[in-house]
Amino acid sequence: MQLSNDAGELADYWDWAHAIRDWPRGAELPIVQHVLEEVSDRDQILYIGVGDGRNFLRLADSGLDIYGCDASRVAVDRLLSVHPSLRGRLLHRKFPEMAEDRAGFDVVIASRVLIRPDLDGSHADLSAIRSVLRPEGRLFAEWTAAGTDPWPGWGSAALDARGNLRLDYPSERVQKIYLSFLGCVELVESAGFTVDRGPVPIDLPRHRYPGGIVRDWVLSARANPQP
């Protein structure tokens, strides 16, 4: 399945994915500790793409003033069935809808979400994130890096001038982009942010076949003043 930049198509995909995979909640990702070290309980935080809750629940349990959204109703309903106290803080909303309705967050967290098959789509997502942040608000992000051991089966591979790796998987009609250090920084800063920490490389073991590592970039950035 090829995912376009259309939010409706993405929502349909993730509803399908969560419906067929009643997986146990995974271990939290490195971005969680990164956030806990740098935000305060006075910050109002938006977490985009709560998924199975592995990161969101840890942050919510720490006492932060955090709200979460996900395009998948299946994911949100499943989390609320186990954690009903989060009702009102956990919303079935596509991010573009959140961007239209609300602004003034101190922090936005985007961990392995808003991943597009092209950098223009990623740039548009980051610009939308900037629109919901207060002046000089902060972005915390985690993205898959070009140092990842790719999943086998790609039909073509291309490396651009910034070192970003693009793989096409014809059997699944999926396209993936893995960011280089320079590509990651330029993507974030071109959308109106200044990187203030990172990108830091984090290597995570891939426990399933074919093994290897998944390398992520973890960073924080501050929104530049609007012109």
Digit-coded pLDDT (tens) for 148-183 = 999 899 999 999 999 999 999 887 777 889 999 999
Tell me the pTM: 0.86
Residue 104 has pLDDT above 70, yes or no: yes
Percentage of the chain beyond pLDDT 70 is 85
At 19 the pLDDT is: 53
Gap between the Cα atoms of 50 and 67, Å rounded? 10
Three-class SS state of 205:
strand
Q: What structural domains and CATH numbers belong to the chain?
A: 7-145+179-223 (3.40.50.150)
Q: Which tops the pLDDT comparison, 127 or 25?
A: 127
Tell me the pLDDT tens digit for each residue of 64-100. Answer: 999 999 988 888 998 999 999 999 899 888 777 776 6
> Average pLDDT over the chain, rounded to whole?
86
Q: Cα separation of 103 and 77, whole Å?
A: 25
First to last CA, the chain: 39
Burial (CB count within 10 angstroms: exposed 0-12, middle 13-18, buried 19+), residue 38 = middle
Using an 8 Å Cβ cutoff, are 74 and 104 in contact? Answer: no
**Mean pLDDT along residues 114-141:** 88
Distance CA 153, CA 61 (A): 40
